[in-house]
Each structure stands twice: as structure tokens, then as C-alpha cells.
Amino acid sequence: MLDMLGLSPLEIGVHVLNVIILFVVLKLLLYKPVLKFMKKRENAFADKVDQLDTRDKELIQKKQQYEQMMAAAHNEAAEIITKSNEMARDHAREILDNAKEHARDLVLRAKKEIEGEKVQARLDMKTEIADMAIQIAEKVLEREVSLDDNRKIIDEFFERVG
């Protein structure tokens, strides 16, 4: 049957041998380098994936650090605002206390001045009343009353009046 096809067993053996040699040569020349290339590419791809995973982890970690820093900054800002408000309140309280103290001093000074003016007015009034009493007494008595007599009368009058 092989003869009918025009093939001899020797030719078939040579073809099989050629195929085997071609297979071995191609395996040595192409398969191993291609396999090596594919392994290298696979390793490179795996390295890239590992690098991306590492980068993702670093980014997540940096994001967490950023969020922590932002939270700390917000807390610090709130603390600064609180301290500033407290300082402003303290300063306002201090200003009010100083103003109240100044007002008290002014009132005390005014009271002292009024008291001094009262004393001076009493003295002036006492002198005027004494002068008027002397004049009235002179006219009534038509004589001159001594200064000591007038002083006694005036002092008695003021002791009674208060």
C-alpha cells in the first residue's frame, strides 16, 4: 500500500528522521530560548505586580499619614483658636477690671473733692454767718461785740445745728 502511494519505507524513515532532527533542533534553538524569554517576561511581570502592590501599600500608608497630619493640624488649629479666644476673653476681662478700678478711683476722688468742698463751704458759711451775726449783733446792741464772744455764740450754734 505504501508502494501505491509512491512512498518507500526508506523515504518515510528519512522524513521521520528529518522531523525528529527538526524537532530536536527547534527545541534546542527555539523552545528553550522562547521558554527562557517567557519565564523572564513572567518574572518581570510578577516584579511589576509586586512593585505596584508595594507602591499601593506605600500610597495607602502615606494617605493615612496625611489624614493623621490633617487631623492633628485641625486639632492644633482648634486649640489655637480656643487659646486665642481665652486670651481675648482674659484681655477683655482685664480691660473691664481696669476700667472698673479707674471708675472707682474717679468716684472716690470725686467724693473726696465733694467732701473737701463741703468742708470748705461749711467754713465759708461759718465765716459768713459769723460776719452776719456780728453785724446783726452790732446793730442790735449798738455796740461792738468782741470777736471771742462771737466765736462762742457761733460755735454753740453750730454744735446745735450739727
Domain ranges of the chain: 2-161
pLDDT one-digit tens code per residue, 106-147 = 999 999 999 998 888 888 887 887 777 777 766 666 555 667
pLDDT for 139: 65
* Residue spans of alpha helices (H) in the chain: 2-5, 9-26, 32-141, 147-161
Report the pLDDT averaged over residues 58-73: 95
Q: Letter for the amino acid at 89?
A: R
What percentage of the chain exceeds 90 in pLDDT?
52
pLDDT digit string (tens) for 132-142? 777 776 666 65
Residue indicated by cell numbers 523552545? 31
Long-range contacts of residues 92-99, Cβ cutoff 8 Å, at least 24 apart: none
Contact 137, 157 (CB under 8 A): no
- Of 7-21, 110-124, 146-160, the range with the lowest mean pLDDT is 146-160
124 vs 150, which has greater pLDDT?
124
Question: Would you say residue 62 has pLDDT above 70?
Answer: yes
Segment 52-65 shows an average pLDDT of 95
Q: What are phi and psi of 142, to 5 degrees?
A: 55, 30
pLDDT band of 25, cuts 50, 70, 90 = confident
